[in-house]
């Protein structure tokens, strides 16, 4: 029974790998899946009328979910580079009396500016994936357990999508254009760069900034405790971020005001 269903584990592992970062280890997932398959065979009761393949799929998906929960969505090298860049940025801020540019940080670190931008993008992507991995918001892992959400899950997901739409609409114009072009229109980075008159590296930077801003904008409404404190409270950037959070809230309130009035009158 186990041998005949080993291909099932391979199929489910490939399904998972298509949704997660490239550094997630295939062997670790396969090992977890095969262990779950053996356990499923040991606990299978044909008298219940459930086909073994369906029963095993549920057990294997659960094991893959557990394995993914332990994944760090950023690689060690990404975090190591980020720590080095942060230390350099802090040192330069103290010596210059202002926040250094990416070029200055790159020069002090002995790397290319593109490497600084790429690291920022990798971290932003990891942070967003970490947020998505929270069961309360739906996840790569959570989506593997069941394709039929409960009414409560459907409500939470619908609310999240509403806030996402509001958060995208409230983005500064250039960031919104990058998000819409890259994720919705699926424009190549080179095409977006030409359209906006900037380099591809700048598009990568704008995309990373937008992803972090979207994450924090949504969290500011759904779970403010998840919003990290700004490095310079009271500064221009912090005030702009707060204004963005307020814009997201205003858009959401305006979009739902008619429904609220109807409910009240009813």
Closest CA to 71 of 130, 9, 17: 130
Look up residue 74 and give its two tokens: 């950023």
Lowest mean pLDDT among 42-46, 115-119, 140-144, 181-185: 140-144
At 233, phi and psi to the nearest 5? -55, 135
3-state helix, strand, coil in the chain (%, to 5): 75, 0, 25
The answer to whether the beta carbons of residues 137 and 160 sit under 8 Å apart is: yes
Q: Tell me, what's the pLDDT at 225?
A: 84
Give the dihedral sign, CA 104/109/114/117. Answer: negative
Task: Please check the confidence at residue 107 and state whether its pLDDT lies above 90.
Answer: yes
Phi and psi at residue 224, to the nearest 5° = -55, -25
Q: Are 164 and 218 in contact (CB under 8 A)?
A: yes
Q: What tens digit of pLDDT does each residue of 140-155 get?
A: 444 444 444 455 555 5
Whether 134 has a pLDDT exceeding 50, the answer reads no
Q: How do residues 189-218 score in pLDDT, each as one tens digit?
A: 888 888 888 998 898 889 888 888 988 888
Give the per-residue pLDDT at 7. 86
Task: Give the number of C-alpha atoms closer than 13 A to the C-alpha of residue 30, restricted to the C-beta side.
Answer: 8
Average pLDDT, the chain: 77
Nearest C-alpha neighbor of 138 from the set 166, 163, 121, 171: 163
Per-residue pLDDT of 151-173, as tens digits, reads: 555 555 566 777 888 888 889 98
Q: Above pLDDT 90, what percent of the chain?
A: 7
188: pLDDT strictly greater than 60? yes
Q: What angle is formed at CA 2 by the lines to CA 23 and CA 10, rounded to 5 degrees?
A: 25
The residue-averaged pLDDT of 109-114 equals 90
Instruction: Look up residue 201 and give its DSSP letter.
Output: H
**Segment among 74-78, 109-113, 148-152, 236-240 with least mean pLDDT:** 148-152
- Give the list of residues 6+ apart from residue 93 with CB closer than 8 angstroms, or none: 99, 100
- Residue 136 is predicted with a pLDDT of 35
Pull the structure tokens for residue 220.
């500011």
Q: What angle do CA 232, 203, 86 make, to 5 degrees?
A: 35
Query: What are the structural domains of the chain?
Result: 3-69 (1.10.1740.10), 76-265 (no CATH)
pLDDT band at residue 242 under the 50/70/90 scheme: very high
pLDDT tens digits for range 60-105 = 988 887 777 665 555 667 777 878 888 888 888 888 888 788 889 8
Residue 8 corresponds to which tokens in the numbers above? 């099932």
Mean pLDDT of 38-54: 86
């Amino acid at each position: 029974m186990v041998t005949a269903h080993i291909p099932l584990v391979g199929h489910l592992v490939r399904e998972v790998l298509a949704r997660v970062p490239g550094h997630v280890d295939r062997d670790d997932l396969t090992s977890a899946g095969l262990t779950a398959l053996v356990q499923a065979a040991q606990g299978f009761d044909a008298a219940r009328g459930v086909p073994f393949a369906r029963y095993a799929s549920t057990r294997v998906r659960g094991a893959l979910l557990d394995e993914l929960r332990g994944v760090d969505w950023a690689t060690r090298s990404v975090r190591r580079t980020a720590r080095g860049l942060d230390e350099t940025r802090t040192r330069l801020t103290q010596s210059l009396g202002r926040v250094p540019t990416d070029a200055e940080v790159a020069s002090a670190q002995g790397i290319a500016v593109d490497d600084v931008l790429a690291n920022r993008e990798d971290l932003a992507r990891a942070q967003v994936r970490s947020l998505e991995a929270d069961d309360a918001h739906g996840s790569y892992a959570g989506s593997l357990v069941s394709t039929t959400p409960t009414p409560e899950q459907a409500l939470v997901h619908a609310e999240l999508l509403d806030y996402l739409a509001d958060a995208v609409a409230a983005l500064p114009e250039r960031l919104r254009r990058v998000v819409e072009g890259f994720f919705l229109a699926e424009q190549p980075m080179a095409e977006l760069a030409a359209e906006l008159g900037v380099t591809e590296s700048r598009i990568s930077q704008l995309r990373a900034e937008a992803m972090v801003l979207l994450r924090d904008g949504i969290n500011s409404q759904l779970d403010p405790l998840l919003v990290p404190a700004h490095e310079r409270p009271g500064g221009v950037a912090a005030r702009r971020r707060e204004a963005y959070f307020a814009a997201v809230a205003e858009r959401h309130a305006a979009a739902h005001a008619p429904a609220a009035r109807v409910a009240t009158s009813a």
